Amino acid sequence: MRIRVTTRADLYEERKQQHIQRGYRIEDERPIPVNGFCSFIAMREMPVSDTVDELVALAINGGRGSHRYW
């Protein structure tokens, strides 16, 4: 799974560390702010069984799988 994380410049290092602690690998860092925002790509390999489980949950729950609502 690859996600682009865009954050305010003052929170960049904190957000990067949070993703590293959760098991993501950081790629394509853009630490120089553009319009006050920096970004990076957080990447994590998903085991095939997790992906299948997620798809089954989505199918059974009508799109409300194991998502967290924040």
Structure tokens belonging to residue 29: 């860092």
Confidence bin at 27 (pLDDT 50/70/90): very high
Cross-strand pairs, 38: 7
Residue type, 58: L
The pLDDT of residue 60 is: 84
Cross-strand pairs, 25: 43
Give this prediction's pTM: 0.64
Terminal CA-to-CA distance of the chain, rounded, Å? Answer: 19
What are the tens digits of pLDDT across the range 31-57? 999 999 999 999 988 766 666 777 777
Query: In the chain, what are the domain boundaries?
Result: 2-45
